[in-house]
Amino acid sequence: MTRYYSAVAVDNTLGSAITSGSTTATLNTSPIGYPSSFPFVLAIDYNAATEELVLVTAVSGTTISITRGFNGSTPQSHAVGAVIRHVITAQDLTDTQTHYNTALTDGAHGVTGSLATFLGAPTSANLAAVVTDETGSGSLVFATGPTINSPVITGTIAASGSTGASGQYLSSTATGIAWVTPATTNLTFNAQTGTTYTLVFGDLNKVVTLSNSSAITLTIPSATFTTGQQINIQQIGAGQVTVQGDGTSTFTGTGTKLRTQYSAATIVCTGTNTFTLIGDLA
């Protein structure tokens, strides 16, 4: 049962005597600073041998409705002028400690049903369960279940002999975290055998091979690639490869030609229609 408290309640006194069976009492003056919600605890004959704890269930003017003998105290008669004080009781501290020490089992902390359901793999179905709140007066309902975002874990590479195989990394899956073998990305090739070729967007990240017995001209087009993209090229025939722009695109580098047969280079887009040529150049 939830009880309510106030830090500004002012002491009062009984305006008229009550018997041990009275369920109402009259205060000497209108209450000041009492909690606005019920119940709350008052001590009648505070700090005297005849002290009694009562639960206040309603207040109307100077009249209070009371449940007698709270927390093991004894209902008894009290005289006019008995001191009345709003107090915290031993029961308040006992309830708190009981709550602290309750194991996470069925019914603990207001959860209806086994907590194992909630501590297992979360799904919309089990998160849609009704969880009764700790006052027992209402419930928290997930109508469709909250969205659960899987954690993204990258960069943890297993060493040889660890739980994961050498080279594997941890990654989130639909049911938890698992060791995953990295996917390999194989290069693909675009084999060109003519004496001229203009790169296309499909050459991105490929190796363009150029093979002819005569000289070959490779053109870098404008408005095709964006900053950071790259294309690999290799001369595999006797004809020397010369790289050029298309009049709008430009490039920099230590040379404009591949040096000899089997020389290779990478064309990197460094800005809008701007490229650099890196590799075995003449």
4 lies in some domain: no
Residue where a domain terminates, one of 165, 184, 203: 184
pLDDT digits (tens, 9 = 90+) for 139-186: 444 445 555 454 444 454 544 445 566 667 667 666 666 777 777 778
pLDDT digits (tens, 9 = 90+) for 72-125: 999 999 999 999 999 999 999 988 887 777 654 545 555 555 444 444 444 544
**How many other β-carbons are positioned within 10 Å of the β-carbon of residue 227?**
10
Please indicate, yes or no, whether residues 47 and 113 belong to a single structural domain of this protein: no
Please indicate, yes or no, whether residues 215 and 154 belong to a single structural domain of this protein: no
Question: How, if at all, do strands 241-245 and 216-220 pair?
Answer: parallel
Q: What is the mean pLDDT of residues 248-253?
A: 94
Please indicate, yes or no, whether residues 248 and 267 belong to a single structural domain of this protein: yes
Please indicate, yes or no, whether residues 39 and 109 belong to a single structural domain of this protein: no
229 lies in some domain: yes
Please indicate, yes or no, whether residues 197 and 254 belong to a single structural domain of this protein: yes
257 lies in some domain: yes
pTM of the model: 0.42
Measured CA to CA, the distance from residue 181 to residue 94 in angstroms comes to 54
Please indicate, yes or no, whether residues 159 and 219 belong to a single structural domain of this protein: no
66 lies in some domain: yes
- Residue 261: CB partners within 8 Å, gap ≥ 6? 235, 236, 237, 238
CATH number at residue 211: 2.60.120
Structure tokens that stand for 166 in this block: 């050498």
Give me the pLDDT at residue 138, please: 47
- Parent domain of 125: 104-141
Place of tokens 């020389």: 263
Please indicate, yes or no, whether residues 59 and 76 belong to a single structural domain of this protein: yes
pLDDT digits (tens, 9 = 90+) for 129-151: 444 444 444 444 444 555 545 44
Give me the pLDDT at residue 109, please: 53
241 lies in some domain: yes
User: Domain total for the chain?
Assistant: 4
CA angle, 212 as apex, 211 and 217 as ends, to 5°?
Answer: 85
